[in-house]
Amino acid sequence: MNRIQPTVSAENLTQFETLALDSSMNLADGHARQQLTSAQSKIVAELPDMWAEAIMRPVSEIEQEAAESFFGMLGQHSHPFAAGRTLSCYSSSLAMEILARSLVTTSDAIALLHPTFDNIPDILAGVGLKLIPVEEEQAHDDDLPAELLEQVGCVFITTPNNPTGRVMTEARLRRLAEQCAEYNVVLALDTSFRGFDTAAQFDHYAVLEASGCRWVVIEDTGKLWPTLELKIGWLARSANVDLPIEKIHSDILLGTSPLILLMVKRFSDDGADGGLAELHRTIAEHRALVRAELAGVPDISFVDEQARVSVERLHVGSRMGMDVWSAVRSQNLYVLPCQKFHWARPNEGERMLRLALSRNPSTLLAGAEVLRSALLDTPERHR
Amino acid sequence: MNRIQPTVSAENLTQFETLALDSSMNLADGHARQQLTSAQSKIVAELPDMWAEAIMRPVSEIEQEAAESFFGMLGQHSHPFAAGRTLSCYSSSLAMEILARSLVTTSDAIALLHPTFDNIPDILAGVGLKLIPVEEEQAHDDDLPAELLEQVGCVFITTPNNPTGRVMTEARLRRLAEQCAEYNVVLALDTSFRGFDTAAQFDHYAVLEASGCRWVVIEDTGKLWPTLELKIGWLARSANVDLPIEKIHSDILLGTSPLILLMVKRFSDDGADGGLAELHRTIAEHRALVRAELAGVPDISFVDEQARVSVERLHVGSRMGMDVWSAVRSQNLYVLPCQKFHWARPNEGERMLRLALSRNPSTLLAGAEVLRSALLDTPERHR
């Protein structure tokens, strides 16, 4: 057993994901890479017809249909597209960049969920915002402290969270929104993974609007369906948000592709017509498959028992996550080490790995076998 | 004749372009909206097959082929893709945002061509950089002053320029790169419109590399072909650039779509095989069509006699550009008023309009007729 760690130059989780892109056993990134369903394949076969349709029709009409279908599929009936407050972006991360650039014009600090995917803190810090961690337990269980709300311009929550899958309940969202309204703090939500969990599909926009708080929501079509990075990130905002979001959006893009918007509409309509339920069954089967394959390995656990999202955290017990990561990498399997999710205190993630579930079962099975054998071979390490 | 200006809330050129998106006479944005050629239509018909291909192949291989074909078509044989220094982005404006965020980590000021499309100064200023204008004549005719180069971290040049179409010659680029090397200033080029002008297709990367300067180049597939906003912005850099470009890129994206990359490869191969020459003929015909339709209108001129790019500036003489803009808008024709291109001194653009030429001839003809009649009716205005 070689315990020397290979040199890994990855500076963030995305660079860890990049290492995996050409591997046949890529369980690293959270992008959807499972097979198209037969209904989805039919939509793809019609892309040339959709191209012809996109040329003929006004793009604003296509965009509205895509938004209605996507937000409708997810139960977000009070979304503000018709009010002109939903902007389409090339991706949710670009929506994040636009939000960050907008926030820093009026704030110097932000309260951010901890842990969460590291490109959120990196983008926010990259534009110059000071980050104050809000522990997941605190965000879900208690009011936020007044002294925190007094020093930030925004509270940012990922729900369902990546990687934990934890969903903010309607009651907690309502209370948090009320607090944000009271302190005149923007409440920003990243709901990119909400499609996987019906618990995250209550009408968030109705709750946010009722609170009267200033709010922004980032939605994402990109995590659900294997659409080859053709996706839309939506950036929705309240009427009272008072941030230069529309101007900064227009500095970076005129609009998204009408072909992608038509495709999103079609995938959403199929989702509402049973496709989303089928996806939930698929992810549940994949989760069960991985857990079954690793059953009996001593000193491991699946940390997020309630998770429904397309990623799964594995606690590797007294092993070090990077030891396991290196061992499976030598077998061409890529997973994500979890330190960088814990952006304020990376050591809290050092004994966990994140596995992507939105893959074909054969890939998951092969990966889980490699992982099982690596776990059995990886020694304990105490700090 | 109503001389009262309507309220126009557009804050930048892109918002002026947005006003035009649903109009049947949109001569505002510089995106390609002409008909697909028959060769291009065949490629679009094969999108479902390309989707299947994209699933099967490693994305890095697809990306390399797209880069080789696109840069090769444009004569950029020394481009650094193989060296791992060319990143694909969703668009050239996103590449611009990543560059701006990288520059501001080490610089507080930048020298920027004047005039140029306003999202470049807006993105640069938006991240906190101070902008110092470099007049187009100066950039093309003289060495830059030492006192300018001593106070900036970067010199940014758009070539061919938007809206003027002016191309930096090989000799001038060489000298500018030498100056940037001497002062340790990054030379950044936006070459998004180079596909339209063979004068801009000498091997820029060979010139930049020979100078030893730190350089960045933004290339764009999005201006050439009517691909419904499916496009790639490339962000290429020198080995010595010493900016956190790769990290910031990975904060915002894992990668671009392999379907779009395959499409870019196919369009580029067709371009190299005669498609680009056909495009040049088409744009020249469209330019001639607009000039012919406006011939004989008193007190107007086409400012950029040598331009080959897909946009055309019209000087409206002693009229005000916004008067003409408002008059044609009332007939549902949209063009771009030019003030905002002159980001340092907007009044220099107030008697010019920019017309897009990458449209179908019928649209151009209808637009030119509306414009002709509006020009004949618009009074002189002296400040």
A109, A161, A298, A377, B311 from A138: Cα distances, Å = 19, 14, 31, 37, 55
Tens digits of residue pLDDT in A19-52: 998 888 999 999 999 999 999 999 999 999 999 9
Tens digits of residue pLDDT in A87-99: 999 999 999 999 9
CA–CA gap between residue B108 and residue B233 (Å, rounded):
25
Q: Residue A17 is nearest to which of B21, B47, B254, comparing CB atoms? A: B254
- Measured in angstroms, the CA of A354 and the nearest CA of chain B are apart by 17
- Measured in angstroms, the CA of A221 and the nearest CA of chain B are apart by 14
CA–CA gap between residue A32 and residue A276 (Å, rounded):
13
Q: What pLDDT, on the 0 to 100 scale, is given for residue B9? A: 76
Q: Residue A229 is nearest to which of B228, B251, B257, comparing CB atoms? A: B257
Put the strands of the sheet holding B130-135 in their side by side order.
Answer: B86-89, B233-237, B215-220, B186-190, B154-158, B109-114, B130-135
Q: What pLDDT, on the 0 to 100 scale, is given for residue B134? A: 98
Tens digits of residue pLDDT in A303-342: 999 999 999 999 999 999 999 999 999 999 999 999 999 9
For residue A109, the cross-strand partners are A130
Task: Kindly indicate the confidence band of residue A7, based on its pLDDT and cuts at 50, 70 and 90.
Answer: low
Q: What pLDDT, on the 0 to 100 scale, is given for residue B193? A: 98
Cβ distance of B250 and A18 shorter than 8 Å: yes
Q: Residue A60 is nearest to which of B22, B45, B48, comparing CB atoms? A: B22
Tokens of B327: 């008059």
CA–CA gap between residue B247 and residue B102 (Å, rounded):
9
pLDDT(A3) > 70:
no
Q: What pLDDT, on the 0 to 100 scale, is given for residue A5? A: 46
Q: Which residues of B touch A22 (CB under 8 A)?
A: 58-61
Query: From B53, which residue of chain A is nearest by alpha-carbon distance?
Result: A228
Residue B86 CA, chain-centre distance (Å), reads 19
A30 touches chain B (CB under 8 A): no
Q: What pLDDT, on the 0 to 100 scale, is given for residue B132? A: 98
Beta strands in chain A (DSSP E): 25-26, 86-89, 109-114, 130-135, 154-158, 186-190, 215-220, 233-237, 301-302, 311-315, 333-334, 336-337, 352-356
Q: Residue B18 is nearest to which of A97, A122, A250, comparing CB atoms? A: A250
B56 touches chain A (CB under 8 A): no
Q: Which residues of B touch A93 (CB under 8 A)?
A: 251-253
Q: What is the DSSP letter of B114?
A: E
Q: Which residues of A touch B96 (CB under 8 A)?
A: 252
Q: What is the DSSP letter of A115?
A: S
A243 touches chain B (CB under 8 A): no
User: Which of A 265-294 lie inside 8 A of B, CB atoms?
Assistant: none
Cβ distance of B51 and A51 shorter than 8 Å: no
Q: Residue B21 is nearest to which of A59, A101, A253, comparing CB atoms? A: A59
Q: Which residues of B touch A250 (CB under 8 A)?
A: 11-12, 14-15, 18, 119
What mean pLDDT do residues A115-127 have?
98
Q: Which residues of B touch A255 (CB under 8 A)?
A: 18, 21, 229
Residues in contact with B223: Cβ distance below 8 Å, sequence separation at least 6, in sequence order? B30, B31, B32, B192, B193, B195, B196, B310, B358
CA–CA gap between residue A236 and residue A249 (Å, rounded):
12
CA–CA gap between residue B53 and residue B360 (Å, rounded):
32
Q: What pLDDT, on the 0 to 100 scale, is given for residue B30? A: 93
Q: Residue A256 is nearest to which of B47, B97, B229, comparing CB atoms? A: B229
A62, B13, B28, B221, B363 from B33: Cα distances, Å = 17, 18, 11, 14, 10
Residues in contact with B141: Cβ distance below 8 Å, sequence separation at least 6, in sequence order? none
CA–CA gap between residue A256 and residue A249 (Å, rounded):
11
Asked if B153 and B131 count as a contact pair (C-beta separation under 8 A), the reply is: no
Asked if B220 and B88 count as a contact pair (C-beta separation under 8 A), the reply is: no
CA–CA gap between residue A70 and residue A265 (Å, rounded):
7
Asked if A75 and A202 count as a contact pair (C-beta separation under 8 A), the reply is: yes
Cβ distance of A48 and B45 shorter than 8 Å: yes
User: Which of A 149-178 lie inside 8 A of B, CB atoms?
Assistant: none
Cβ distance of A31 and B127 shorter than 8 Å: no
ipTM > 0.85? yes
A21 touches chain B (CB under 8 A): yes
What mean pLDDT do residues A116-120 have?
97
Q: How many CB atoms lie within 10 A of CB B269?
A: 18
For residue B235, the cross-strand partners are B87, B218
Q: Residue A51 is nearest to which of B44, B54, B252, comparing CB atoms? A: B44
A51 touches chain B (CB under 8 A): yes
In CATH, which of 3.30.70.2520, 3.90.1150.10, 3.40.640.10, 3.30.230.10 is domain A13-38+273-377? Answer: 3.90.1150.10
Q: Residue A230 is nearest to which of B48, B250, B259, comparing CB atoms? A: B259
Tokens of B239: 């080995």
Q: What pLDDT, on the 0 to 100 scale, is given for residue B79? A: 97
Tokens of A33: 């890479």
CA–CA gap between residue A233 and residue A95 (Å, rounded):
6
B64 touches chain A (CB under 8 A): no
CA–CA gap between residue B23 and residue B107 (Å, rounded):
42
In CATH, which of 3.40.50.1820, 3.90.580.10, 3.40.640.10, 3.30.360.30 is domain B48-269? Answer: 3.40.640.10
Residues of chain B with pLDDT under 70: 1-8
CA–CA gap between residue B305 and residue A84 (Å, rounded):
41
Q: Position A187: which residue type?
A: L
Cβ distance of B252 and A128 shorter than 8 Å: no
A-B C-beta contacts closer than 8 Å? 145
pLDDT(A6) > 60:
no
Q: Residue B247 is nearest to which of A11, A58, A251, comparing CB atoms? A: A11
A122 touches chain B (CB under 8 A): yes
Cβ distance of B22 and A91 shorter than 8 Å: no
What mean pLDDT do residues A368-383 have?
93
Q: Which residues of B touch A61 (CB under 8 A)?
A: 22
Q: What pLDDT, on the 0 to 100 scale, is given for residue A24? A: 87
Q: Residue A22 is nearest to which of B29, B60, B128, comparing CB atoms? A: B60
CA–CA gap between residue A1 and residue A17 (Å, rounded):
25
A55 touches chain B (CB under 8 A): yes
Q: What pLDDT, on the 0 to 100 scale, is given for residue A22? A: 85
B128 touches chain A (CB under 8 A): yes
Q: What pLDDT, on the 0 to 100 scale, is given for residue A382? A: 83
Cβ distance of B12 and A251 shorter than 8 Å: yes
Asked if A338 and A313 count as a contact pair (C-beta separation under 8 A), the reply is: yes
CA–CA gap between residue B219 and residue B99 (Å, rounded):
13
Q: What pLDDT, on the 0 to 100 scale, is given for residue B83? A: 94
Stretch (H or E) spanning B217: strand B215-220
What mean pLDDT do residues A114-126 have?
98
B251 touches chain A (CB under 8 A): yes
B19 touches chain A (CB under 8 A): no
B57 touches chain A (CB under 8 A): no
For residue A259, the cross-strand partners are none
pLDDT(A1) > 60:
no
For testing the chain A interface, which of B229, B264, B332 should be mutated: the one with the most A CBs within 10 Å?
B229
- Measured in angstroms, the CA of B342 and the nearest CA of chain A are apart by 16
Q: What pLDDT, on the 0 to 100 scale, is given for residue B3? A: 40
CA–CA gap between residue B19 and residue B36 (Å, rounded):
24
pLDDT(A215) > 60:
yes
| Structural domain spans, chain A | 13-38+273-377, 48-269
What mean pLDDT do residues A138-167 have?
97
Q: What pLDDT, on the 0 to 100 scale, is given for residue B7? A: 58
B250 touches chain A (CB under 8 A): yes
